Amino acid sequence: MSAPLQYTVPPEDAGHRLRHILYSRLGLSWALIQRVRENDRVRLNGEPVYLTQLAQPGDIITVEIDFEEESSIAAERMELDIIHEDQDFLVLNKPAGVLMHPVGQERSGTLANGVVYYWQSQGARAKFRPIHRLDRNTSGLVLVGKNQFVHQSLYKQFNHHSVEREYLALVEGEIAREGGRIDAPIGRKPDSIMEREVSEDGQSAITSYRVLERLGKVTLVSLHLETGRTHQIRVHMSYLGHPLLGDTLYGGSDALISRQALHSHRFRFVNPRSGSPVEFRADLAPDLKQLIERLRANQV
């Protein structure tokens, strides 16, 4: 259960309509403002109020943002690796091989099925609202909003590229440079519903990378996304001539690992409620750790 949002009107907001303050100060979308208005979820000094009313210094605005919502995703018991949970969002460490949510004929065994079950076991009714997505075979951090307000706020941060995201990857070959920045637009490959490629008429895509360790014919790299295109890291590293280990879709070999060697390691963002920065990390997945140890020992 998320606590209501609360805002004490400062002198500079005097004379502004409440709906303007909800949008500009509290960060509610116009759609959510309409929803809280229709459901009588806004109070001014503890009393119901029209959103056209003008605010005065010292007024206390309270907005209830929790709505009971029925999910169309079937609940399914699942072991979840929860890194952090509070009233507004859930941070999970997703294992490789697990889909984010049901798609096509695959309606069970996804992260969404497990999260919905977890919430329902606590008596909560909420929709599964991931802020971003990982490919099935990418492991690591996933951020899920627990209410519409937080989902919209965090999604906006992602779209404005203000969320700092770091991935770890094992790529083929020895990268000579210590780091670099790949600025190459990405678009859908013709005649493919899945594969992407660097394309002049694609969408802007920027990835920064830094070499962490050279392991013979393999390099461990840290990657930062400045944009969030589908398969961005996989496409960019392949374009650089160093595809991810195990990423057969983009030219990598699966001789050492049977999935793309990519892990969502860290992200940093602003907590929508407190306005303070928060950071979370997830250690490398066991299969990647084991492969690195084998590479260090020259056992592959």
Residue 125 has what pLDDT?
A: 80
Long-range contact pairs involving 99-105 (C-beta distance under 8 Å, separation at least 24): 99/136, 100/130, 100/133, 100/134, 100/136, 100/142, 101/73, 101/128, 101/130, 102/73, 102/74
Whether domain 5-63 has CATH 3.10.290.10:
yes
Q: List the chain domain ranges.
A: 5-63, 68-160, 164-265+289-296
CB atoms within 10 A of CB 280: 16
Rounded Cα gap, residues 37 and 25, in angstroms: 17
The CATH superfamily of 164-265+289-296 is Pseudouridine synthase (3.30.2350.10)
Residues of the chain with pLDDT under 70: 1
Q: What tokens were used for 204?
A: 């802007």
C-alpha R_g of the chain: 22
Residue 67 has what pLDDT?
A: 81
Residue 292 has what pLDDT?
A: 97
**Predicted confidence (pLDDT) per residue in 33-67, tens digit:** 999 999 999 999 999 999 999 999 999 999 998 88
Residue 1 has what pLDDT?
A: 61
Q: Do 68-160 and 164-265+289-296 share a fold?
A: yes
Q: Domain 68-160: state its class.
A: alpha beta
Catalytic positions, please?
135
